[in-house]
Amino acid sequence: MLSIRCSTDRGHANHGWLDTYHTFSFNTYYDPKFMGFRGLRVINEDRVAAGEGFGTHPHRDMEIVTYVLEGELAHKDSIGSGGVIRPGELQHMSAGTGIRHSEFNGSKTDPVHLLQIWVLPSKEDIAPSYGQKSFPIAEEPDQLHLVASPEGRDGSLKWVTDADLFAVRLNAGSTASHAFTTRKYGWVQMARGSATVNGLALEQGDGLSLSDETAAAITAGSEGAEVLLFDLA
Domains and CATH numbers, the chain: 2-232 (2.60.120.10)
pLDDT of residue 166: 98
Percent of the chain whose pLDDT exceeds 70: 100
The pLDDT tens digits for 182-225 are 899 999 999 999 999 999 999 999 999 999 999 999 999 999 99
Distance from C-alpha of 74 to C-alpha of 98, rounded to nearest angstrom: 20
**Residue spans of beta strands (DSSP E) within 86-214:** 89-94, 99-105, 112-119, 129-134, 145-149, 157-158, 163-170, 175-179, 185-197, 200-202, 207-211
pLDDT of residue 106: 83
State the average pLDDT for the chain: 96
Residue ranges, the chain, pLDDT below 50: none
Coil vs helix vs strand at 44: strand
Q: What angle do CA 174, 70, 51 make, to 5 degrees?
A: 170
